Structures are given as structure tokens and as C-alpha cells.
A and B are shown apart, each in its own frame.
Chain A
């Protein structure tokens, strides 16, 4: 984050409020995600983490405040507009298109792209990254093992050639042995220069690889700090890391 360019956030929340019907979920939330950084959003169940992601991606429209993408207010823009500009989500629980083949899933990741060559390149890149995925190319993704599904979910998101990857609890539902691998994978993607905004309940693990983090409590940002100081924060340790 040394260049002047890097100081401008890709995605930003300015005083965002989101409601589901009359229920107030997000309350005056402010966030900013800068190019190439790895940040995480922590919070307990139903604190509004998934809602934050959906609002960022435009699947839910905020009732007030501004969602800003590259300096432009995109409140009224559809999801596709944001995906086209490099915002991509890996949904909770991977959510592959189960009855479609692995290849079809990957192709759907690149749905909004028109550059044939670029798509082919990215496909090759994903195949070298995950040789296992290539082997299973024509298998229905619903029949893959949990670990393989995680690879495909990541691959599908990468096929959109994203600048920011929004990840909703990437380690949820994975076997303990896979969680570690998964975090390594996220770091690897991050090293390629893709900004990552990760929602996690596994606070320890998430903070150990993140640059910065926020803590959300019933829709309010209660902590906003660097990962190191969050890890050291006694309040957080108490409420989220399960320490007395």
C-alpha cells in the first residue's frame, strides 16, 4: 500500500443502514477495502456479517448510506455491474451448482467476461493450481468431496478475474485438516494481488493472516483495528476467542 493508487479504497461503506422489512440489521456501518489487502469481518451469529457482504455486492439494497466502488456511488447499480468491475463473492457453504459439471461451474464464474483468451488462460491457471479439479472437470460438482468443492468454489470465484474477493465463512463445514489448507490457499490468492474481504467466526485463524479487521455486534461496528492489536485486544479475546 505504498503507491498513491493504493490509498484509494476499491470498496467502501459510508454510514450504511440495511433493513429486512422493518428489521434493522446494519446500523451506520463504515468500512473500506483497499487494493491488495486482506481484511476480515468478525462477529457472532446473526450479527449481520452475511448481510454486509450482500449489501456490498448489491444483492440487498441499503436503506441509507452509500456503497462506493472505485469512488462511484453504486447503490442503484445491479450486482452484475459490481461483478463486472471486479467484485466477486464466494458464498457461504460454497453453494456450487450441484447438478452442473465442474467445468460448467467454472464457466459460470466467468459469466460476465467476454475475453475468450483471458477466460481460457484463467481456466488453465486454475487447473494448474488444483490438478484435482481438472481431473474432475466433467463430474457433477454435487458429487465432489468437501475439499474438492472448496477448490471449485474458489476456482469459480477466481474465474471472474476479481480485484476483491468477498468470502463468507470459507472454513465453515470443512474438516479440521482442511481448514488450515484453506487458509493457506486464501493467503496464496492474496499474494497474487487480489484483495480479500473475509467473514469469519474462526477469529484466531482469520486474524493470524489478515492485515486489518472489524468486529460487528448486532449490526454495529464495535472494533476497527489492525489484526495484531485485535488479536491482543482483551475484550475481543474474551468475547470471541473464548478466553476467560
Chain B
């Protein structure tokens, strides 16, 4: 009896053991070359980011504190986590996640996920971390061999600007390089393992974790925005009376010193010196994860189904519901500045100025397919024309018949800006014609290069000594008056809220016009030209005139933006109109999804609002130095992964990812790839029968 039980036990044990060895063996059956490749990539990325100066630059911004949150002590004592470290820690996580992705080839089953994914992640992270260790060692070596008067000299600082003590301290966690030597591989390894591990979790859990992490980072880096919004809202709730004195020229009217009802919450979450407290981290994380779980379990894909149902509805119905949506959004935007402070309003005003530009360029590039790289020229024309008409400080050489809408005591004339705007419009249209007429016959890249040149020519004209008497050369034009709308108030830079409203008004018009155009005969003609110029011509479309028209419409929208910009900043210089502006607007349009209005809005909010414009700081001021780096990286990533833009139009994205869709469908057995040809022929034959 007992023998048999023992036997059974033995076999079971043996089975169990062999199973365990299988698992362990399986865990180490990793794709070595892939792990090494990703590890190398991670190492390069970390070293690059370090040397670019990002971690040190962003170190001043605390994401969270876990010790003594009310005293500001910078990171060397390791009291918290700064944005600088986040900029480094992010990559092992991302690459750990990415290394688990697989290209599923036709007809091949995906390999099973399992422990080997974790090991791969670990390997990737360790290799990446070793990269940083090596960098730290080099720093330490240069630091030790080369001290001048006991001060580390960092001999390699000449080519590498950020090769310095700050970087050394940051990378060693201020604990010496021997610590960094093992800490980085360990840390990066664990992070990458965690990233890889995310793939092994069930969907709702993973979503919850990602939501919690994102929420923590977002709430922390957008502290300023949250503070401002909740503060304003709370103040209004505490003292609703303040809304009554809202329309006025004083930007701070209506923001009396009332305590916001949310002050308690804000103090609970944030440390006084910036960053989340530990309790705040837990609070935000739990709330976000909870909401995400709730979303997964309660809605169970109902949101997705609703979206699909919406997309399946006839276009006419969709138009009404999206019109209602638009009205709601517009109302929300109108009351938003009631609750926000000066700086957020300033930010929104900048977003609006660039949105207006992007909407115009979207017509030119997105609809008509004319790659205009000199778009900034029209922004400049708008800005300068407004300046000339509304600034007493304009050049001396202007003859007296050129109107100047400024009173004798140097005040803006009521309605003067509006009249100036009409002239701006005419002038911008003329410039558009002038530049457009000779170049519009060219196609594609030639046109892009020529417009690029014209953009520069216009700027150089404004800068030139030759026209200094008119445009002030490098000194530009100062003392530009705001836009005085009489009893509605004056729009000036000191009152960003008013600028925001002005921009909102014009953006609304531009959005409406773009939206109508897309569905009009004119818009169709533009799209036809974009798709195939010679066939468009064969349809009887006068391609040259139509393209010129798109160019001019774009120019006029850009000039509006320039006019507002002029009134807002009060003084303009040629340096406000660098080629960079053209490029950034183009990036906004591309990132948003060319030819897609919602996408352009999203693109402006994300790129200009969060990262900042060419000269305007965004919400993440720490990023402004790396703005172009991030723009470039984003552009590359978008082109590779989401060519349809941030807010894809459903059909467009289906078309761009058609291969994948088909492959998926094929794998699921939904598509019969048998010979369609014959069937199709038959179908045509029957359908073609005389009607």
C-alpha cells in the first residue's frame, strides 16, 4: 500500500520537477540577439539623454517626495524623484515593454508569453544600465585624473557641454561611482522587467497600472495647471459673486483673494515646494487605477461599441451630433478662462495663435496638398501690417496717407484694429497672390523649396536696413496698441484672457470655414488636386487657380493670426518669424493628422500647449530646451507608427493600416482569399446588365 503511495508521490514529484525545469529552461530560452539589440538601444538612449543634459536640466522639478515634503532639499539627499530621473527611468520601462512586442508573421502562431519575457526584459535593462555605469565610470575617471586645484576639471567638457559635476552627482545618486556601477544595471533591469511584465498581466490590471503611473506623473508635472484650475474653480464656488465683474480690462478682476474650497485637497496632494507627497502619490494612483478598473469592468467595451455605433450612423445624423458636441466644447472654452489664471490664459492664447496658423496651413497642405514651407511669411505680413497701422512707433518713412489708428495721446482708436484687420486681409491676400503666382505651377518638392526661400526673403526684407525706415530693421516695431473694441474691452498682452477670447473667436471662424470647405465643391476640387493633379485637370478643374486660391486662403488665415499676435505682444521683430515657425506649424498639422480639423486642434494643444511654441513656453517649461528634439522624435515616431496622426479619421486610418487589418482578419478566418476574380467578374456581369 504504502509502496504504491510512495510510488505515486515519487512520480508526481518527478513530474512536478520536470515541469519546473521546463519552466525554468523555458524562461532562459530568450531571443538573445533581440535582447542585446534592445539593450544596446537602451544604453545608447540613456547615454544620449544624459549627455544632452535632460536629466540635469529637469532635476529641479520634483515629481514626488517621500520624506519631509515641506522642506525643499534638492535631490542629492535622495528625498524624492525628480523629473530628471523620470526622463531616464522612462526608457527601461518603455524598451522592456517594446521588446515583448512581436511581429506575427502570416500564419505563424505567436509564441507563448511567459517567464522568458521577464528574463528578456531584465537582460535588456541590465545591458542598458551597464551603459550608464560605463558613462559614470568615464565621468569618474575624468574627474579624478584631472583635478585643478582640487576642483574636478572634466577635461572632456569641451566637446560635451554637459560633461560636468552635476551630471556626475545625478548619475551616481551622490553616492560615488562604485554605487552607480551596480545600481544602474539593477535599477534599469528591474524597470525593464516591470515593463516586460506589463505584457503578462491581464488587460484590466495592466490598464489600471498604466493609468496610475501616467496619472501620477501627469498630476505632478501639470501641478501648475491643476493648481490653477482647481484654485479658480474653488474660489468661484467659495465666492460666486466674483463672476459679476468679469468683463473688464483688469485681468485679475474676479480673482479676489478668496480661499479656494479645494485648498485642502491641494495641500494634501502636493508638497509646498512642488511635487507630490507620498500620500498624494497613493491617492492619485489609487483613484486613477480605481477609475480605470471601474471603466474596464463596468463598461466592458460598451464605450467602444458606442463609438462604433456612432461611426456606423449615417453621415447626416453624425453631423448633427458632432455639431452639438462642438457647441458644448465652445461653451466650455468660453467659460474656461473664468476659472484659470493669467499664465494658463496666456498659454491658451498662444495655443490659439498657433491653432489659427495650423488651421490655415491645414487647408494649404492638408486639403490642397501644397507643401508650403514658407508659411511664416504670411504670419509676418499680418503681424507687420497690423503693427504699421496701429503703432505710433512705426518707421519714419511712411507717408502720411498710410492710416495710423492711434489717437494723439497715443491710445488705440476704438475699432481701429478691425479696420486694420481688413487691410491686413487684403494685403495678405495680395502677398499670397504675388508669391503664389510664380511658384504654384511647380509641383511637390520644387514648390516646397521655393516657398521655403520666399519665407526667408520676406523675413529678410523686414530685417533689412534698406527698409529700416518702414519696418525698423532688427529693432522691429514697438508700442503696438492693443485691439480696442469699445465697451467689449481692449485686447492686449497684459490681459491674456482677452487675447484668448479674440483668438477663440477667430479660431471658431477658421474651424467653421475649414469644416464647410471640406464638404464643398471647392474643397473637393482641392482634394482632387492633392490626390492627382492631372486627373483633376481632366475633370475640368482649373488646377492653377484652385491651388492659388488655397494658397491665398491659407495666407489670410495666417495673417489673422499675425494681427492678433501683434496686438498681443505689443512689439514685433524679424526674429519672431524664423523658418522654425513654419516647421513647427507643419509639425502640428502632421502630428494632428493632415487634413483633419480635430487633429489639428489636438496637435496644437499637445505641441504648443504642453511643449511650447517656437519662442513661447508651454506647460512643461522644463522641456522647452528639448522641444525640437522632442518634436523631431515625435515626428519620426508618428510617421512610423501612426501616419494617420493623433486623431485619425476612421476611414483614413483603416486605409493606412489596411495590410494589418487584412492580416488580422485573415488570421481570424474572416477573409476568404480564395479566387475572388471569377466571382467578381460574375457579379459585374450581372450588375451591368441593361438597367
Cα(A185)–Cα(B652), bound, Å: 31
Contact residue among B521, B528, B651, B688 (Cβ-Cβ distance under 8 Å from A130) = B688
Q: B688 and A175: CB pair below 8 A?
A: no
Chain B residues with Cβ below 8 Å from A36 are: none
Chain A residues with Cβ below 8 Å from B681 are: 147, 175, 177-178, 181
Q: B531 and A181: CB pair below 8 A?
A: no
Chain B residues with Cβ below 8 Å from A225 are: none
Q: B540 and A151: CB pair below 8 A?
A: no
Cα(A89)–Cα(B535), bound, Å: 9
Chain A residues with Cβ below 8 Å from B536 are: 97, 108
- Is B658 located at the chain interface by the 8 A CB criterion? yes
- Secondary structure of the B contact surface, majority rule: helix
Chain A residues bordering chain B, tally (CB within 8 A): 45
- Is B106 located at the chain interface by the 8 A CB criterion? no
- Is A204 located at the chain interface by the 8 A CB criterion? no
Contact residue among A111, A128, A138 (Cβ-Cβ distance under 8 Å from B539) = A111
Q: B540 and A100: CB pair below 8 A?
A: no
- Identify the stretch in A61-69, A76-84, A210-218 within 8 Å (CB) of chain B at 4 or more residues: A76-84
- Is A173 located at the chain interface by the 8 A CB criterion? no
- Is A9 located at the chain interface by the 8 A CB criterion? no
Q: A175 and B677: CB pair below 8 A?
A: yes
Chain A residues with Cβ below 8 Å from B3 are: none
Cα(A91)–Cα(B690), bound, Å: 24
Contacts A97-B532, A98-B531, A100-B528 given; does A59 touch B538 at CB 8 Å: yes
Q: A109 and B539: CB pair below 8 A?
A: yes
A170-189 vs B, CB cutoff 8 Å, 1 = contact: the mask equals 00000101100100110010
A207 to chain B, nearest CB (A): 21
Chain B residues with Cβ below 8 Å from A83 are: 538-540
- Is B1 located at the chain interface by the 8 A CB criterion? no
Q: B688 and A91: CB pair below 8 A?
A: no
Contacts A100-B527, A129-B691 given; does A143 touch B655 at CB 8 Å: yes
Q: B538 and A89: CB pair below 8 A?
A: yes
Q: A181 and B684: CB pair below 8 A?
A: yes
Contacts A99-B655, A177-B681 given; does A59 touch B691 at CB 8 Å: no
- Is A104 located at the chain interface by the 8 A CB criterion? yes
- Is A15 located at the chain interface by the 8 A CB criterion? no
Chain B residues with Cβ below 8 Å from A84 are: 540
Chain B residues with Cβ below 8 Å from A2 are: none
Contact residue among A57, A108, A112, A178 (Cβ-Cβ distance under 8 Å from B684) = A178
Cα(A188)–Cα(B539), bound, Å: 22
CB contacts under 8 Å to A, within B671-691, are 676-678, 680-685, 687-688, 690-691
- Is A107 located at the chain interface by the 8 A CB criterion? yes
Contacts A97-B528, A131-B687 given; does A111 touch B521 at CB 8 Å: yes
A94 to chain B, nearest CB (A): 9
Chain B residues with Cβ below 8 Å from A59 are: 534, 537-538
Contacts A100-B527, A138-B315 given; does A130 touch B540 at CB 8 Å: no
Chain B residues with Cβ below 8 Å from A147 are: 680-681, 683-684
CB contacts under 8 Å to A, within B500-541, are 521, 524-525, 527-528, 531-532, 534-541
- Is A140 located at the chain interface by the 8 A CB criterion? yes
Q: Which of A107, A145, A147 has the most CB of B within 10 A?
A: A147
Chain B residues with Cβ below 8 Å from A130 are: 687-688
Q: A99 and B531: CB pair below 8 A?
A: yes
- Is B475 located at the chain interface by the 8 A CB criterion? no
Chain B residues bordering chain A, tally (CB within 8 A): 35
B390 to chain A, nearest CB (A): 42
Chain A residues with Cβ below 8 Å from B531 are: 97-100
Q: A79 and B540: CB pair below 8 A?
A: yes
B102 to chain A, nearest CB (A): 27
Q: A80 and B534: CB pair below 8 A?
A: no
Cα(A131)–Cα(B683), bound, Å: 10
A193-234 vs B, CB cutoff 8 Å, 1 = contact: the mask equals 000000000000000000000000000000000000000000
Chain A residues with Cβ below 8 Å from B678 are: 177
Chain B residues with Cβ below 8 Å from A138 are: 315, 651
B295-330 vs A, CB cutoff 8 Å, 1 = contact: the mask equals 000000000000000000001000000000000000
Q: Which of A99, A139, A178 has the most CB of B within 10 A?
A: A99
- Is B542 located at the chain interface by the 8 A CB criterion? yes
- Which single residue of chain B is at the shortest CB-CB distance from A114? B521
Contacts A91-B535, A99-B652, A177-B680 given; does A143 touch B658 at CB 8 Å: yes
Cα(A140)–Cα(B654), bound, Å: 10
- Which single residue of chain A is at the shortest CB-CB distance from B315? A138
B549 to chain A, nearest CB (A): 15
Q: B687 and A145: CB pair below 8 A?
A: no
Chain A residues with Cβ below 8 Å from B534 are: 59, 91
Chain B residues with Cβ below 8 Å from A57 are: 538
A82 to chain B, nearest CB (A): 8
Cα(A109)–Cα(B683), bound, Å: 25
Q: B315 and A97: CB pair below 8 A?
A: no
- Is A132 located at the chain interface by the 8 A CB criterion? yes
Q: B652 and A95: CB pair below 8 A?
A: no
Chain A residues with Cβ below 8 Å from B682 are: 177
Q: B651 and A140: CB pair below 8 A?
A: yes
A5-18 vs B, CB cutoff 8 Å, 1 = contact: the mask equals 00000000000000
Cα(A142)–Cα(B655), bound, Å: 8
Chain A residues with Cβ below 8 Å from B683 are: 132, 147
A125-153 vs B, CB cutoff 8 Å, 1 = contact: the mask equals 10011111000001110110111000100
Chain A residues with Cβ below 8 Å from B691 are: 125, 128-129
CB pairs A–B below 8 angstroms (29 shown): A59-B534, A79-B538, A79-B540, A83-B538, A84-B540, A97-B535, A97-B536, A99-B527, A100-B524, A100-B527, A101-B651, A104-B524, A107-B521, A107-B524, A108-B536, A111-B525, A111-B540, A125-B691, A129-B688, A132-B687, A138-B651, A140-B652, A142-B655, A143-B658, A145-B680, A178-B684, A181-B688, A184-B688, A185-B688
Knowing that A91-B535, A108-B525 touch, tell me 5 more A-B residue pairs with CB under 8 angstroms: A91-B534, A97-B536, A98-B531, A100-B524, A145-B676
Q: Give 3 nearest A-B pairs by CB, closest first.
A: A177-B681, A83-B540, A97-B531
B contacts, CB < 8 Å to A = 315, 521, 524-525, 527-528, 531-532, 534-542, 651-652, 654-655, 658, 676-678, 680-685, 687-688, 690-691
A contacts, CB < 8 Å to B = 57, 59, 78-80, 83-84, 89, 91, 95, 97-101, 104, 107-109, 111-112, 125, 128-132, 138-140, 142-143, 145-147, 151, 156, 160, 175, 177-178, 181, 184-185, 188
